[in-house]
Amino acid sequence: MEDIWQSAMDHAVAVARKAGQVVRDAAGGVHEAAVMVKSSPIDLVTQTDQKVEKLIIRALKDKFPTHCFIGEESVAAGEVCVLTDGPTWIIDPIDGTTNFVHTFPFVAVCIGFAVDKQVEFGVVYSCLRDEMYTARRGKGAFCDGRPLHVSRQQDIRQAVIATEFGSNRDPQALDKIFSSLKRVVSIPVHGVRSAGSAAINMCLVASGCVEAYYEIGIHVWDVAASSLIVSEAGGVLMDVEGGPLDLMSRRVLAANSRSVAERLVKEIDAFSVRRDDDAS
């Protein structure tokens, strides 16, 4: 088994690099007319997202024709989003589409691979910065081959916390997002940051640049690959209310330690959003 997944991971890294090259070549040349919207006027998608997802799935299916696939743009086009126990590739061709449209430099190609609903390896290619983050279960997390470790800071008052506003502009959700933000800022923490890509926020936790990241409204493809990068770098993952992370729940809290995570849980005004696997 071991060797099968290692060669699958090597292939995923090569595919992510190729996909990232296509994204990089397209960045800066996105015309207003080429930007479309999905769930809300600020949930953006471009032809590059769609083209790159097709490229990734074709390259993976060629080698693994019997595997399952969950891809952001395939789901947007009507495919089901179900995580079974079978080998499943979970793909976001561009995490940070708004960044891509504006050439803000945090844009990632994400490829996660799960078996029995457990992520076996994760690849996050921060393609505008040419940084390749990888993790394999039980074997550590790396950026361009350098081992990653989360920050050792245990005092939340000396922490930097990442979060995002997402693309949900429902007034009740926004009230909760802002009340959580106010409580976190008021702890007080050293600072709050938003990279504009869930996967890159998670890689920043894994790299020790920020102590934690939380968000309600993400999708499984934004965080599947990067969740393993965080845990293999020594970090913890949980739900924003403190239970175990549920990849389909659209809620995530990643932190350098349980104590920082649990402190944040106390400040987050949690709410539920429609799950990724809710087909109703």
For the question of residue 278 being annotated catalytic, the response is no
Q: Determine which one of 48, 88, 97, 163 is catalytic.
A: 97
With CB under 5 to 8 Å by kind, the binding choice for 235 among Ca ion, ligand IPD, none is: none
Of the ranges 153-161, 218-226, 237-245, 256-264, which one interacts with ligand IPD (CB under 6 A)?
218-226
Quote the strand ranges of the chain, DSSP E.
35-37, 44-46, 68-71, 88-95, 108-115, 118-126, 131-136, 141-143, 146-147, 160-163, 191-193, 212-216, 236-238, 251-255
Say whether 72 is catalytic. yes
Q: Which residue is nearest to Ca ion (CB)?
A: 92
Q: How many residues of this chain bind Ca ion (CB under 5 A)?
A: 3
| Active-site hit among 49, 53, 95, 120 | 95
Q: Which does 219 bind (CB under 5 to 8 A by kind): Ca ion, ligand IPD, none?
A: ligand IPD
By CB under 5 A, residue 276 contacts Ca ion: no
How many other C-beta atoms are found inside a 10 Å radius of the C-beta of residue 197? Answer: 29
- Using CB under 5 A as the binding rule, whether residue 92 contacts Ca ion is answered as yes
Does 196 interact with ligand IPD (rule: CB under 6 A)? yes
Report the distance separating Cα 126 and Cα 106, nearest Å: 7
Angle value at C-alpha 118, between 116 and 123, nearest 5 degrees: 125
DSSP character at residue 33? G
Choosing from 94, 111, 200, 229, the catalytic residue is 94
Residue 68 to residues 7, 61, 82, 120, Cα–Cα distance (Å): 17, 9, 9, 14
**How far, in Å, are 19, 30, 269 from residue 49 at the CA level?**
10, 11, 32
- Among 49, 53, 164, 222, the active-site one is 222
Q: Taking the alpha carbons of 274, 32, 18, 128 in that order, is the dihedral positive or negative?
A: negative
How deeply is 189 buried, as exposed, middle or buried, from its count of CB atoms within 10 A (0-12, 13-18, 19+)?
buried
Binding-site size, ligand IPD (CB under 6 A): 15
Terminal C-alpha separation, the chain:
36
Instruction: Give the 3-state secondary structure of residue 49.
Output: helix
Determine if 132 is a binding residue for ligand IPD (CB under 6 A): no
- Give the shortest CB-60-to-ligand IPD separation in angstroms: 18
**By CB under 6 A, residue 95 contacts ligand IPD:** yes
**Please, which residue, 48 or 256, has the CB nearer to ligand IPD?**
48
Told to check if 164 binds ligand IPD by CB under 6 A, we report yes
Residue 219 contacts ligand IPD per CB under 6 A: yes
Binding residues vs ligand IPD (CB under 6 A): 72, 92, 95-97, 164, 166, 196-198, 215, 217-219, 222
Binding site for Ca ion (CB under 5 A): 72, 92, 94
- Which residues are designated catalytic? 72, 92, 94-95, 97, 222
